[in-house]
Amino acid sequence: MDAQTNVEDLPPCDLILRGGITSGVVYPGTVAGLAAKYRFVCIGGASAGAIAAGVTAAAEYGRQVGGRPDAFEKVAGLAHEIGGGTTNLRKLFRATPKLRILDWLLWRGLSAGPLATLGAVASPSIAIGLGAWLGGAGIAWGLALTFGGLIATVGALVWQVVRGLPAAGYGLCPGIHPGIEQTEDALRHRGALMDWMHATMQRLAGRTVGQVPEGKDAPLALGDSPLTMGDLWGSPDTLAERRLDLVLTTTNLSQQVAHRFPFLEPSGTNLFFQPDELARVLPRDVVRWMVRAAQGEVVADGVRLLRLPAPGDLPVLFGVRLSLSFPGLISAVPLHARDASIPRTSDTTAATRASRRPARFRRAWFSDGGITSNFPVDAFDSVLPRRPTFCINLRELPTDDEEAGPRTEADMVWMPRDNRDALRPPFLASRRRGGGGEWHDDPTLAGFVGAIVNTARNAQENALQLTPGQRDRIVTVLTRDNEGGLNLNMPAETIALLSKRGADAAGRLVDRFHPDGAEAREGALMGWRNHRWIRLRATLSGVERLLAEISAAWRHPDAQAGSYADARAAWSPTHPANATSVPKGKRVTPGYRWASDSAARAAGDGVDEIIRLADTLGARASAKATQTGEPHASLFDSGPSAASASKTAGASSGAAPRPKLGWRLRAVGGDPRANLTYR
């Protein structure tokens, strides 16, 4: 961005980043490239994407509020920093000391391969047995010592996996370096992943590290506190217009639900933390801040638990840590929640209430957001978008033979060429059999099991990426077998190459969507105008079908309850049909009746308007079909037939974009702004 450009003058955009462990080194180049032309408003991600999302949010806050106009220049340099400039990607993944054997095996396996790793594990036992035999102990003793050593080694490894890994939170790396000096230089250059993240984000936001005092009442300057969600929003009020928003996914394994940080849903108020537990996975400043901002405390089984701070007071780094807890590599985060698994008794008498047991709390393990949502492309969707949402996808090329994939760097970044492109899902986890012939699915058992896990995680989002109004705004960055993924020991040259690939992805988006972009200047088909048009056509077609379904169901007779139209008279709360007799001592949940007769009449008038609109659209669609000879009646989905329209994806037939979009009710999430019906 030009030094003279006012940030507020930049067009706004949203950004969603896919998870990918170390593939996230793609993102500094992408974020810096987009920041030169756009102002970020909403940012989302999961896993490694959450790291980049947190950095992006801190940098945007820094250049808008924190006095850091150079924040995104610093972001652009992060790839060099973790590639060996001032730190090292390997050092960021610092294992718990008790798990050093497993840590050594992981790094050995990544660098030398599984066979060499097995040889390294077995070689000490073989050397001892061979030495005993050559020393005159005999071949029997030599074999006994060899096999005994192997059994002891395997037993030690199994013990570490079965007992050591769970004790460490199911991950080799806690994310911090315990006892490290809490200064920016120490955290950035010698700290583990979360230490480095904390120092980096605070620096980008124009804040300090290591300055949060212990104790809730000790004075604390704003510039010394960890960056919080309220800082990004511009107000702790979650209903206020937000300057900058951040949404990260995380997975609650203990209750088997997905959460979206910062826990705006009601269940988020039921989460507690134990400070000593969080101190094992988060930097000291962040934990001390959370203790200061806690919303209360309880004592359960002799353990003091603090209620999580209000959403606006939650540190951004806390959300990043929750989302990136990659199972086995980075330990899960322990929180606590009230146990609601035992149903309450229906007896509500005073004696029963007095004899109830106190609330029971259980530990809830929070792990990688990518387990449930690795690429939340619809996180910021509205029916008709008012600004572009750019989605950065990461995908590995098939292994074993690069001839199956792109040959040049220019081909490693890809976007749909037109509205008919990217209609079919790509094949994944494929490899060439025997070094030649055609490509097939991975024939190994590990490949099959991996495909099951990845399909369960990603199937819905993979399908969503193929829909109109989604696929045209997604840029895919391809990685080779030795890039990204679990390649924690990538050399600096590879990291720099991936970051450049990310910058190329930003360039593709700017060229296509920005008013100053090359494609936009040339009047190309694809771009922001096309995206808005595609979303409008798809939305109108979906609304038409939704209204038709409502109209048909409204008048449909039901043997037990009659039609919805017949039941309208009973909407009034004073209608005789709503009179209920509640037994003494019992509580009855309200049946969602309107609060007054006037409210019921207003709601009924609104429904009448909806039915009249549905009937009007249906009549006009039928008349249009009669005039044009079309086989189906629709105002917003023209064309000779659905089959022929699908061949061109609606591009030239007059049909709405394919595949068609339907409307189904689902929870709108925890954001209280979703309750504001008219905005």
Active site residues: 47, 368
End-to-end CA distance of the chain: 32
Spell out the alpha helix ranges (H) of 294-349. Answer: 316-323
> What's at 160, amino acid-wise?
Q
* Distance from C-alpha of 315 to C-alpha of 57, rounded to nearest angstrom: 12
Instruction: List CB contacts of 194: < 8 A, sequence separation 6 or more.
Output: 175, 176, 281, 282, 283, 317, 321
* Distance from C-alpha of 178 to C-alpha of 191, rounded to nearest angstrom: 9
How many C-beta atoms lie closer than 10 Å to residue 172's C-beta?
24
* Distance from C-alpha of 164 to C-alpha of 532, rounded to nearest angstrom: 53
- Given a contact cutoff of 8 angstroms between Cβ atoms, the answer to whether 475 and 505 are in contact is yes
- Given a contact cutoff of 8 angstroms between Cβ atoms, the answer to whether 420 and 652 are in contact is no
Cis peptide upstream of residue 343 (ω within 30 degrees of 0): no
Residue 471, class by beta-carbon neighbours within 10 Å (0-12 exposed, 13-18 middle, 19+ buried)? Answer: buried
What phi and psi values does residue 516 have, to the nearest 5 degrees? -95, 5
* Distance from C-alpha of 172 to C-alpha of 163, rounded to nearest angstrom: 12
How many C-beta atoms lie closer than 10 Å to residue 140's C-beta?
10
* Distance from C-alpha of 19 to C-alpha of 373, rounded to nearest angstrom: 9
- Given a contact cutoff of 8 angstroms between Cβ atoms, the answer to whether 15 and 392 are in contact is yes
The first and second tokens of residue 417, run together, are 């060429």
**Taking the alpha carbons of 185, 191, 192, 195 in that order, is the dihedral positive or negative?**
negative
Specify the pairing of strand 328-330 against strand 171-173.
parallel
The first and second tokens of residue 296, run together, are 């209360």
What is the tally of helices (H) and strands (E) in the chain? 22, 16
The first and second tokens of residue 251, run together, are 């997975």
Left, alpha or beta for 302 (phi > 0: left; psi -120 to 50: alpha)?
left
Q: DSSP labels for 284-353?
A: HHHHHHHHHH---EEEETTEEEEEPPPGGGSBHHHHHHHHT--TEEEPPEEEEEE---SPPPS---HHHH
Instruction: List CB contacts of 616: < 8 A, sequence separation 6 or more.
Output: none
Most distant CA pair in the chain: distance in Å? 103
3-state secondary structure labels for all residues of 207-244: CCCCCCCCCCCCCCCHHHCCCEHHHHHCCCCCCCCCCC
* Distance from C-alpha of 5 to C-alpha of 269, rounded to nearest angstrom: 41
How many C-beta atoms lie closer than 10 Å to residue 407's C-beta?
9
Residues facing residue 260 across a β-bridge: 249
Instruction: List CB contacts of 347: < 8 A, sequence separation 6 or more.
Output: none
**Taking the alpha carbons of 488, 492, 496, 497 in that order, is the dihedral positive or negative?**
negative
Spell out the alpha helix ranges (H) of 424-527. Answer: 445-464, 492-513, 518-521
> What's at 370, amino acid-wise?
G
